[in-house]
Structures are given as structure tokens and as C-alpha cells.
Structure 1
Amino acid sequence: MNTTGTAASATETGQRLDAIIGESGPADWSDPHGAYRATAHVLDRITAEKGLVSAAVADLAGSLAGCESYPNMDKLLLWRSGDGNLRLRLHVFSPGYTDRPHNHRWNFAARLLGGAYLHAVYGDEQEVLEGARRGQAPRARHLHEVSAGSGYFLDHSLVHSLHTDTTTVCLVLRGPSVKDDYFTWEETSRQLVWAAGAARESAQESAAKAMDGHGYERVLDALGKLGL
């Protein structure tokens, strides 16, 4: 997986992640089959090194830049390439978390480290867009439970959502952005709401979701309960 331009990481853990992700070689993120194999290999290696993820989380204690908190969900930015195109994140979901059908600006690979969630796929974004124009809510086409140790690769053009009744931790390796905006289905208004990537958010929007010390402690508590 090409990480050309990655600056030397400040910590030993960061340097190890540089090596693992860089040594996998270039990946064609536009090819789902090839990208799946490449990202699965990277996530296999990261999770096989005992203590590597927890060490990366511990490294964030001094700075939570790029980390975010939402109702029943926290996101940690564990690693990013020098050009910012590739990012390794840790998502921590609290019991009762449910998100709305949405697409993404990039492809990503997910690997659950603990817990489980119900993953729903609603089809291609163009199908969802056409249905929304007629006032039709997205309808799940495929549902499956993802449990600890398993994962998947999702193309940016697919619309999905997830729900969990337990504390769940997921490692996410995302690829380069391929579009500027993404959408979310709002059931109350029965329409799609568009949003931009973080680079185009206002300072107020960024501050509203920025993780604070309480959010970080919540993550540490969840990881401890799962023995991670």
C-alpha cells in the first residue's frame, strides 16, 4: 500500500505502523477485489502484533487531533499517510448505537476487534438517490452480523448503516477520497442531507465533534472492558 510522502512518525508505534502499511506495496483502491486483499493483509499484520493497537491509542494521550466524538460513538485517528490519503482509525460504538443510511467519500476496510454489529447495505448510491427523489426511504438489500475477528471491504458507492446493542470496537483503514460530498438519509424529513468532508467544514462544526479528555477516557474504559 503506497504511503509515499509519509513523514517519519514521532513514536516507535507510529514507525511500526508506517512499516506495516508501507511494506504491503501499492494498492489500487478503485479495484475492490485487489484492495480487499491488500487491506486484509495489512489489518491481519496489525492485529497480529499484540499490543500494537493499544500502544497507538496510548500515544494519543498528549494530542487528540483528528479524533472525534458523537452520540454513542468515538473515533480515534491512529495513523495517517504524509499526504493524508490513507488513514487508520479506531471506531468505538456504545450499546444502542444506530446510524442512518449513508455513503462515503472513500473506500474502506473494516475489522472488528471486539463486540459485534448488524451491518445493512442498501445498494448503490444512484439507486438510493433515485428513490429519494420519489420520496422512498432506502431499503436494506443485505444484512449480516459482523463479529469480532471478521470484517469487510466497502466501496464508496454503496449505501450502508449499522446497529449494535453492545460495546463494539472496529479498526478502519480508509483509502483516498474520490468525491467531495456524501449524503445521509433523514427519516424525519424523508430526504437526503448532503455534507462535505472535514477539510471544508467550518471551525464551529469541527469544534462541535472534536474529542475531549472525557471522550478519550470513555474509549480507554471500553477497550479495558473488552480486554483490548
Structure 2
Amino acid sequence: MIALITGGANGIGAAVAWRLAADGAQLVLADVNEAAGSALAAELGAVYVRCDVSVLADNEAAVAAAVSAYGGLDLAFLNAGVTTGCGLGEDFDLAAYRRAMGVNLDGVVFGVHAALPALTASGGTIVATASMAGMIGVESDPVYSASKHAVIGLVRSLAGQLAPAGIRVQALCPSFADTAILGDNRALLAELGFPILPVSEVADTFFQLLASEGTGECWFVIPGRESAPFAFRRLPGPR
């Protein structure tokens, strides 16, 4: 398997990269963190590409690196993500808003667009990291929640469109996971007694999702529950 992982230098991306490498996959790790990305790539025998996923050309360069190094692409794991910490009132921060939408949403849109030619040739798979915040409202970070709702809508919408090309599209939707994205929320969650997911559990669900035959599914990862695709209720139709 030839796999591209955005946000691959640490957290969920790195956990999945270790598992894929152990299974013999050929990897391209794409991340803005050059030190961590290069170091991990060296450990795994992978290719590192500096990639700001909010820039279309960087996504295209990452896919080109996979094709150049390994001859194709079988899996695009579009995993990079950031939070904002801002609301829409006096605390609104335009730069934080643009960054979150650029990384969380554009990063998936651009990643899919860049990877489609190579994945069409291989009949490959796209996995986008969304979040449980894409299924519920999050008062502490509504912009982050909105971006993840958009990712889930994109995955569900693309599934049927890409199925004729043999491409599967899935969403990984973890609850609060033990990654740097938690930031200052880590202490608050501990105070509230809210369990934090080990990244190993998120990686376990990633491989369940990868092994499934489904497409357009949104796999939840919640402490103490067995992961599965979320069963969206059917919307009421016209009478």
C-alpha cells in the first residue's frame, strides 16, 4: 500500500503511520512541522514533504511526491486539523477563523482534489479526520465544529459520486483524543472528569474503517464504546 498522511508528524497521523509502516506500507508524511515530520519519516523509512494543507499547490506536491517515489497512491489520509478558541462575538478572530477553515475544510477539499487522479488509477481510499464535533454543537469552539460538520457533509456527499471510480470515502470521528490539539482544554477536561482517548484507540478505529467495505460512513470513536459507523436518521421527505 502507498499512503499519504497529512498532519502525519504527530498525534493520530503518526499513530496510523507507525501501524501502516509495520504492515509494510510505503508512506509520505505531509506536515508543516519540518523537524518532527523529517524525524518520523527517517524512523519509518518514509518520505517527508512540508505541506500546508490550506494551500492547494502543497497538496498537489504531496501527491506528486508519492507518485514520484512509489509510482502511485492507494490511500489519502487527510488528517491535519486545528482548533480556533474564538467565538463569533467580541472574541471573533478573523485570522483564527481563516486558519481553521483553511486547515480543517480546505485541507480536505484540496487533498481530495489533488489525490483524485492517482486514486482513480488505483481504486483507492480517502479517509478524512472529522470529529464528534462534526455531529454535535460545540459551544466552546463553534467555528471548529462548523468546519468538522462540513467535512462530514463532504464525505457523505462524495461517496456516491466517487463510487463508480472504485474510490471509497470515509470519515474518522474521534471524541477528545490525546493530541496537541487539546491545548488548554486538557486541564478543563480533567477537571470535568471527561475521559481522553488514547491515540492508539483512534488508530484502532482507523484500521477497522479501512478494512470495512463501506463508503460515506462516519465512524465514531468514543471512550468506553465500540466504534462503528454512526447511523444517521433519514430526513423527512415531502408529503
What is the TM-score of this pair, normalised by structure 2? 0.26
From the two aligned structures, give the one with the greater strand fraction.
Answer: 1
- Structure with higher RCO (Cα < 8 A, 6+ apart): 1
What is the TM-score of this pair, normalised by structure 1? 0.27
From the two aligned structures, give the one with the greater helix fraction.
Answer: 2
